Structure 1
Amino acid sequence: MQLAFATLGCPGAPLDQVLELAKGNDISGLELRAAPDEFTHTGLTAAERRELRSRIEDAGLEILTVSSYVKLCAVEDQPLEAHLELAADLGARGVRVFAGDDPSTIDDGTAYGPSAGEIRALDRVTSASRDVSILLETHDSHSAGRQVAALCGLLDTDVPGHNVKVIWDSSHTWSHGETLAESFNLLQPWIELVQVKDADSGQDYRPVAIGAGDFPIQELLQTLDGTDYPVSLEWELKWHPHLPPLEEALPALHSWLGNGAVR
C-alpha cells in the first residue's frame, strides 16, 4: 500500500520541510495543496514548475494530486484548465476538485435526474484537457459515495472517454451514513486514491488526533485488502488547528494502519 500525505497538514511549510517529513516517515506520495500561500500554485513560472517537479521526483516521491478548490458544479467560472496545466507540468496524476453543487438540488441522481450543477459539470468535463485526470473528492454537496457514483455514472453515459476519477475521502462517506464497504462498492469503478483521517462521531464527526476518534480503520483495511490504491493522510491542520502537527500524526498513522500494511 503506497502511503501519502496532503500538504494541507503543514500549511505554508516550505518544500524542504515537506520532503523531510516524507523521507522521515516512509512516505512515497504527496497531495500538493494549490493556493497562493503555498509553494504550489497556478502562478508558478515554467522554470519554477520544472524545478518543483525535479526536486520532488529526485526525492523519490510521486505527486498524486494538485489539490485545487475548483468546483465542477458551480455557477461561476472555475480555473480548471489552469490547474490541469499545472498538474501536467508537475507530472501529477490529476487535479483534485469538489462538486460544489447546491445541496438542495441533489437527489443522488436516481429519482429526478441530474441537477443544473451536475449538467454544468458535464459541460466542464467535456471541454477539459484530458492530459491528466480530474479527481473528484467525496466532499461538500457530494460527500456520500452514492452521490459521487451517480455523477460518475452520468459522466460515463454522456461523456465517453472522460478523465474523471474519484478521491474517496473515506471519513466523509462514513459520516454520511454509508458503511465503508458500501461506499467502496459504489465508487470502486472510479477510485484513484483513498484519503484517511480519524474523526469523532460523537462530536459531529470532528477531525481528531489519530486514535482519539472512532473511525473504523480496521473495516477500511479489510475493505481495501487486495487493492493497491494509494492511501493518503488528509490531515486538515489548516482548518482544524487543534490537531497535532504532521510530525506527530505521520508516525501515529503508521501505527494506526499497522506496521507492514504500508510501504
Structure 2
Amino acid sequence: MRYAFSTLGVPGRSVAETAELAAAHGFDGVELRAHPEEPLHPGTPSPERAEAVRTFAAAGVEVLAVAGYAKVAAVGEDEPVVAELLSLIVLAAELGARYVRVFPGGGNQPTADADRLAVRRLAAAAPFAERHGVRLLLETHDSHQTGAAIGRVLDQVGHRAVGALWDVLHTWLGGEAPADTRRALAGHLGYVQVKDVASAGELSPLALGAGALPLAEAVAEAPSDGWLCWEYEKRWYPDAPDLPGLLTGGRAYLAGLVPGGRTDEEVVAGQAEDPSRSGSTACRKGSPWA
C-alpha cells in the first residue's frame, strides 16, 4: 500500500516544503491542489513545473494526482470544460502524475441531464488523457455524492482513461455503506481519499481515527498496490490543528488499517537498508485502484 496526503492540508507551503514533509513522515506521494493559490496549477510556467519535478524526485516523493476544479456536469457549454480538462491533463503529464481529480458539479439540474453532460465531456477528454498516460478521476462529491452515482456515469463513459476517486466523507454523508460504494466503483476506482470528522454536522478535520468515518471498512479490501490519500481540509478550516504535527500519527494509523501495512519504523528501516527505496513505487498496471 502507498500513502499520500493532499496539499489542501498545508496551504501556503512551497513545493520544496511539501516534498520535505512527505519524505520526512514516510509518505510515498502527494496530491497537488491545482488552484491559482498554489505553486502548481494550469497557469504555472513550464520552467517551474520542471523544477517541481526535480524537487519531488530528489525527495523520493511521487506526485500522485493533480486535484483540479473542473466541473464536468455543470450547466453550460462543453468547450470551456473540456479545455480545462485538457489543461489539467497536460499539467499532470508534465509533473509525472498518474491522475487528475475532477468534480461533478451538476448542481440542482435533473440527474439525467447532469449525467449526460458529464459523460459527454469525460468521453471527449478521455483519448487525450490516454495518450498522455493520465487517468481522469471523477470524485464522489456534490451532485454525485455516492459511488452509485459516479459508477452510473463511468459505466456510460466506458473508457479506461476515466475512473473514480472515492472520497469516504461524501459517500458517508450520502448514506452509502462502504461495501456498496466498493461494488458500485468496481473496475473504476483510482484511489481513496480518507479523512475524519466528528459528525455530519461538524466537518472540521480531525486526526485520522479521532472521528466518526468508517475508515477501516472503506479500506478493508484495499489491494497491496493501491493508494490511500489523506485529504485534511485545513484550507477550509483555518482553526483546525496544523497538518504537519499530525502526519506521523496519521501515517501510522493508515498503516494499521491495511493488512501488512508498513509502520513508520519499518519505512525508515527499509530506506536505511536500501536508499534507492526511499521514493515511491508505481502501482502495478491493471489494478482496479491503479
User: TM-score, normalization: structure 1?
Assistant: 0.88
The whole-number CA distance in structure 1 between the counterparts of 2:200 and 2:138 is 28
The 8 Å contact of residues 27 and 251 in structure 2, kept in 1 or not, is answered as no
Residue type at the aligned position of 2:154: C
Using the aligned pairs only, state the percent identity: 36
Shift of 1:248: 2.1
| Offset of residue 33 of structure 1 | 0.5
Q: 1:68–1:83: 8 Å Cα contact kept in structure 2? A: yes
Q: Aligned in 2, Cα 1:209/1:42: closer, same or farther, shift over 3 Å?
A: same
Q: Is residue 62 of structure 1 aligned with residue 62 of structure 2?
A: yes
Summarize the alignment of residues 159-178 of structure 1 with structure 2, pairs less than 5 Å apart: 161-178=159-176
Is contact 1:175–1:205 with CA below 8 Å preserved after alignment?
no
Residues in 2 aligned to 1:35 and 1:258: alpha-carbon distance in whole angstroms: 30
Q: Residue 185 of structure 2 corresponds to which residue in structure 1?
A: 187
Q: Please show how residues 120-139 of structure 1 align to structure 2 within 5 Å.
A: 120-128=117-125, 129-130=128-129, 131=132, 132-139=134-141
Partners of 1:84 and 1:146 in 2: how far apart? 25
Correspondence for 2:232 among 226, 230, 235: 235
Q: Give, as a single letter, the amino acid of the residue that structure 2 aligns with 1:212.
A: A
Unaligned stretches of 5+ residues in structure 2: 268-290
User: Is the alpha carbon distance of 1:202 and 1:98 closer, same or farther for their aligned partners in structure 2, counting shifts above 3 Å?
Assistant: closer
Equivalent in the alignment of 1:28: 28
Q: 1:4 touches 1:29 (CA, 8 Å); kept in 2?
A: yes
Question: What pairs up with 1:110-125 in 2 under 5 angstroms?
Answer: 115-125=112-122
Q: Which amino acid aligns with 2:106?
A: D
Aligned-partner SS, 1:223: coil
Which residue of 1 is the match for residue 101 of structure 2?
Answer: 96
Aligned to 2:207: 209
Q: Could you say what secondary structure the match of 2:221 adopts?
A: helix
Q: Is it true that 1:141 corresponds to 2:143 in the alignment?
A: yes
Range moving further from structure 2, 203-212 or 87-96? 203-212
The answer for the alignment partner of 1:251 in structure 2 is 248
Deviates more, 1:171-180 or 1:253-262: 253-262
Question: Given the two structures, how large is their TM-score scaled by the length of structure 2?
Answer: 0.80
The one-character-per-residue Cα deviations of 1:220-262 (angstroms, maximum 9, x if unpaired) are: 34232x4432000001000122321111221221343345624
Specify every segment of 5 or more residues in structure 1 that has no aligned partner in the other structure, as ranges. Answer: 107-114
Maintained 8 Å contact 2:207/2:250: no
Per the TM alignment, residue 103 of structure 1 is displaced from its structure 2 partner at its CA by 3.9
Deviation at 1:173, TM superposition (A): 0.8
Alignment correspondent of 1:110: none
Partners of 2:33 and 2:46 lie apart in 1 by: 18
1:117 Cα shift?
2.5
The answer (yes or no) to whether the contact 1:25–1:251 under 8 Å persists in 2 is yes
Alignment of 1:14-93 (within 5 A): 14-76=14-76, 77-78=80-81, 79-93=84-98
Aligned equivalents of 2:160 and 2:192: distance in 1?
20
Q: Which runs of 4+ in 1 moved over 4 A?
A: none
In structure 2, what residue type is equivalent to 1:185? Answer: R
Please state whether the residue corresponding to 1:63 is helix, strand or coil: strand
3-state SS in 2 of match to 1:153: helix
State the AA in 1 paired with 2:143: S
> How far apart in 2 are the matches of 1:206 and 1:236?
8
Aligned-partner Cα distance in 1 for 2:214–2:74: 33
> Aligned pair in 2 of structure 1 residues 163, 5: CA closer, same or farther (>3 Å)?
same
The alignment covers a number of residue pairs equal to 250
Letter in 2 for 1:135: L
Does the CA contact (< 8 Å) of 1:180 and 1:223 recur in 2?
no
Structure 1 residues 73 and 54: CA distance shift in structure 2, 3 A: same
